[in-house]
Amino acid sequence: MSKTSPAMRAVVSEDSEWIGYGFGPRFRLRRVSTVDGSKRTLKLMPSPLDTDTDNTYICCFDVPQTDFEVEVDNVFSAANIEYSFQYSPVFIKRYHLRRGQRLTHKAIDISGKQLVFKRNDGSQTIDDVIRLRANRYGLTVEETLVLCSRIGVAVKTEKPFEIKGQQMRVNIHYTYRNGGSLMKQDFDLKIGSDNTVGDMKRLIDELEGIAYKDQKLFKVKYLFDSQTLKECDIDDNCTVYLVPKVIGGLDVSDLDMNEIYGQRGLVCFMGPTDQSAYFIIRGFETDDTRRVIPFTLELRFTGPQE
């Protein structure tokens, strides 16, 4: 039975600009000027009403209405992560982010509407929106007012790679194009006989940075993701051939294949944005032994009152 690690709680950085976890991933909010597009990082502070259940941090806006964005930084993390944004009981969006990468959200959803902060000025328009959402979610007006000022954030790490069956060494012969030149590279993997071809692709992705979705693996025949290495007759010191799905910006040609393998026999939100980055890690499994406590970002206006 696997041991569960102590729960990890998010903390704010010394400059109050980031909130994150000790194992790497961190988040920050930036105000974006609707006039010139300039950006300013907003300060974060623990809520005086914070509890162990909601883990709330206040983000202070100094203007009554502005666009904003959320930056997710996994550059110094030791693991790939899955994170989610929750805006209501039913509005939850999940993303994957590899270690060593970062992503900025102008919208929560892909091709979604621009994230905008607006001060609750007590206007009829604001009251109508709150009451509409209260009816939709089956909550009181007071509960909905709190909900609409918050974005919940939850983080999970990817399950470490597990060797299944008899451990063996497999040589990967990687052939790709660099400009007009055909390049060749060999590297070894430690993997198990009961691991699948999909597991092997995930390990290559993790160790060599060749994206899972861009890999084609061959022995004598094309290897399918669901097959185990044993089923593919791959054993210790065996060689597997790897080619990218794209070589030099073009599909792999018959000439490339001939050169590699020999002659052939016979994939408030306002106006629309261009938010398009969406990372999906194939074969992602969460590490249930690492307990990461979600946190909530509460948005508040701290500028002069009118």
Radius of gyration of the chain (CA): 24
DSSP state of 131: H
Third-level CATH fold of 167-252: Ubiquitin-like (UB roll) (3.10.20)
Q: What is the pLDDT, as a whole number, of residue 54?
A: 66
The alpha carbon torsion through 295, 95, 161, 11 (nearest 10 deg) reads -20
Domain range summary for the chain, segments of one domain joined by +: 11-159+269-301, 167-252
Long-range contacts of 46-53 (CB under 8 A, 24+ apart): 46/12, 47/298
Spatial CB neighbours of 5, under 8 Å, sequence gap ≥ 6: 289, 290, 291
What is residue 38's predicted lDDT score, i.e. its pLDDT? 93
Cα–Cα dist 226/121, whole Å: 56
Kindly give the confidence (pLDDT) of every residue in the chain, 306 residues in length, as a single tens digit, with 9 standing for 90 and above: 455 667 888 999 999 999 999 989 999 999 999 889 899 999 998 887 655 566 888 888 888 889 999 999 999 987 889 999 988 887 889 999 988 899 999 988 777 889 988 888 888 888 888 899 899 888 898 888 888 888 999 999 988 888 999 999 999 999 887 777 888 899 999 999 999 999 999 899 888 888 888 898 988 788 999 999 999 999 999 999 998 875 444 444 555 544 544 444 444 667 777 776 666 777 778 887 877 877 777 677 665 555
pTM value?
Answer: 0.68
pLDDT score at 253: 52
Strands (E), the chain: 11-12, 19-20, 26-32, 39-41, 44-46, 56-61, 65-73, 81-86, 92-97, 102-105, 113-118, 150-157, 167-178, 181-192, 215-218, 238-244, 246-247, 250-251, 269-272, 295-301
**What pLDDT shows up at residue 236?**
93
Q: What is the pLDDT of residue 284?
A: 79
- Residue 278: C-alpha distances to residues 8, 98, 201, 275 (Å): 26, 11, 20, 9
Query: Do 221 and 261 meet the contact criterion of CB atoms below 8 Å apart?
Result: no
pLDDT score of 146: 83
